[in-house]
Structure formats: structure tokens, C-alpha cells
Amino acid sequence: MKVTFSAPGKITIFGEHAVVYGRPAIVGSIDKRIYVTMERRNDNCIKILAEDLSFKGLSIKIGDRIEVEANDRILEALKYIVKAIEIASEYINEKSGMNISISSEMPVGAGLGTSAAITVATLAAYSYILGHELSLNEIAKLGHTVELTVQGIASPMDTTISTFGGLIYLMPNVGFEQLSLNNELDLILGHVKRDESTAKMVKKVREIKERNEKIIEMIMSSIGAIAEEGKWAIIKGDVEKLGLLMNINHGLLESLGVSTKLINDMVYASRNVGAIGAKLTGAGGGGCIIALCPGRKKEVSLAIKLVGGNPMDFKLSMEGLKRHNTQLL
């Protein structure tokens, strides 16, 4: 038996980093997905094939506990697969060897929530193939546990959005609200190599905050206010305002020390050819920017390319976790 689950990546439109400190954020799932295909094996061996994620095939034997040493950003993704299998096994109280193949329509580890997408798709596929069709709520909850275990600290944001899909206004420790877009937004992603992991960037901000508690608290509140106003800009379809808020948010991320020269190059290049808003998206230290560029997608893509980034056309998409016919892959 063979099954494929896919889950979407996400962009943070407003509020990355500040959400860690209790401020609201706006995140949306996108039309770029991670696909996890599983086939049950007759032995106890987990074999992972994931050339698209730029790591070679890897075999892991399941003992009482699965352990992977991962010092490297690419092995990082594997941690989530292994931990998801471990946690799913415990939850459904069954285990089996699997051939797992993974492919991605977006760069992995670039701040697009790929670890959450890998996690929820793995949880769903593994339990499904062993006869347990978990509910979305169960998967989102287990997914958060996986991220918590791997990262030490994690908001439920990424796993929630990757499981349910949508465009949400998230208020940490309170709940989230689905927003709806009246018109499709012209958006372009720009991607550059990431130097640092999300965990490291979160730690960097924590250190800056500890040294400048009052100032950074004020900046976090400013980012929170942007997310609040951004919600209304989305509801009203005020694209100009949305762009301006993105630009302001980018500066605040810069003040937290999470932007880089290459990220700024992409931001300025995009604005220069007509993006009305451009900002880092995700934890930073490299990774991705999003540019809001009504009618100027081609120009912005080219501009991003010219400064050394990889442009990617994308849309917000409401589709969350999904099971595919096995013919798909």
C-alpha cells in the first residue's frame, strides 16, 4: 500500500518574531506544497528518499527510539520526519518500516514553514497507512508536539496553518481567526540561501531583547500593531495600506537584527521596480522576502534575479493538508 499526503508552505505577512512574545501575526498558506509518499515495508526499516530537498536517500532503523544526529540545515528536515514517525507511532500505538519519498515545490528551511508541512504530511501519511485516519485537530496538535520536541520552543502557528490552510490572524494563547481575501494579491517570493536556522534567529532576538528589554518590547508592540491594522487592510482590501505596512514591518525586522544584505537587496530591488510593499518573511538570517506588486510581477521577478535571488511566483491558497491518489507520484 502506498499513500501520498501533501501540506502547504506558508508566508508570514506580518508579525514574525513578535508572535513569539505574544503579539498577533498574520500568516497564510500558499500554493506551494510538500509531498510525502509512504509505502509500508515488511521490515522495521525507515528509508527516506528526498532528493528534491537536496539531501540524499537515507536509511534509519527503528529501534526503541529513533535518533538522528543533525548538525546541518539539511539534516534538520530529517529530524522532523523522524520525530513525527516516533510521535505518530506512540499515538496510534503501532509501528512499521516505511519507504518514504518527499518532494517540495519550494525551498526547504527558508522560512516558508516547510518543517511544519513535512511534519503534518508525515504524521498523516504514517498513521493513515497503518489504518488510522487522524482528524485535522489531532494532526495539528501532534504536529505542534513534534515541532516543540525538535526545536525546544515553537508556536503552534506553522503546524496549524499547514494542517488547516487559510489566511489567519493568530493571537497567541487566545486563538485564531480566518480572514478572507476579496481579491487575489499579486505576490512574488524572493529566495536566497539561508545562513542561520529559525532556532538560531529566535535565540538571537531573545539575546538582543534581554540586553534591551524596554526598547525591544516597544518594537514587538509596534509589530503587533502592524498585524492588527494589517488585518483590517486585508478585510477592506486596501492593498496600498497592506504594502505600506509590509515596508514598515520590514524595517522593524531590520531593527531586530534578523535581516541580511541579500534580503535587503531583494527588498529594495523589488520596491525599485514597483512593488508597493516588500519585506522579509520568516525568521530571517537569509531565506525569503515577499513582494506585493500589483501588475508588476514580471518586473519584480527580474529585479530579484538581478540581485542574485531566486524569484518565485505564488498565490495564497486556502488548501491545507490533503490526501492524494497514489497515482500522483
Footprint of its own copies on this chain (CB under 8 A)?
Answer: 208, 211-212, 214-216, 218-219, 221-222, 225-226, 229, 241, 244-245, 247-257, 259-261, 264-265, 268, 272
Give the nearest distance from C-beta 194 to its own copies in angstroms. Answer: 17
Cβ 166 vs Cβ 320: under 8 Å: yes
Taking the C-alpha atoms of residue 51 and residue 56, their distance in angstroms, rounded to an integer, is 6
Angle between helices 73-92 and 136-151 (to 10 degrees): 130
Cell of 320: 491545507
What does 77-124 look like in DSSP terms, one character per residue? HHHHHHHHHHHHHHHHT----EEEEEEESS-TTSSSSHHHHHHHHHHH
User: Quick count: other Cβ atoms within 10 Å of Cβ 77?
Assistant: 25
At 186 the three-state DSSP class reads: coil
Judged by beta carbon, residue 178 or residue 272, the one nearer its own copies is 272
What does 42-88 look like in DSSP terms, one character per residue? SSSEEEEE-GGGT---EEEE--SS------SHHHHHHHHHHHHHHHH
Judged by beta carbon, residue 215 or residue 328, the one nearer its own copies is 215
- Burial string for 232-242 (b: 16+ CB within 10 Å, else e) reads ebbeeeebebb
Judged by beta carbon, residue 103 or residue 222, the one nearer its own copies is 222
Give the nearest distance from C-beta 203 to its own copies in angstroms. Answer: 16
Give the nearest distance from C-beta 219 to its own copies in angstroms. Answer: 5
Angle at alpha carbon of residue 326, lines to 324 and 329, rounded to 5°? 95
Give the nearest distance from C-beta 19 to its own copies in angstroms. Answer: 17
Judged by beta carbon, residue 65 or residue 214, the one nearer its own copies is 214
Judged by beta carbon, residue 34 or residue 291, the one nearer its own copies is 291
Give yes or no: 72 in active site.
Answer: no
Q: Which residues contact 4 (CB under 8 A, 6 or more apart)?
A: 35, 36, 37, 38, 125, 323, 324, 325, 326, 328, 329
Give the nearest distance from C-beta 178 to its own copies in angstroms. Answer: 24
Cell of 65: 527510539
Give the nearest distance from C-beta 280 to its own copies in angstroms. Answer: 11
Closest CA to 87 of 27, 134, 149, 34: 149
Alpha helices in 131-183 (DSSP H): 136-151, 157-164
- Options 31, 64, 158, 265, the catalytic residue: 158
Judged by beta carbon, residue 130 or residue 216, the one nearer its own copies is 216
Just list the catalytic residues.
158
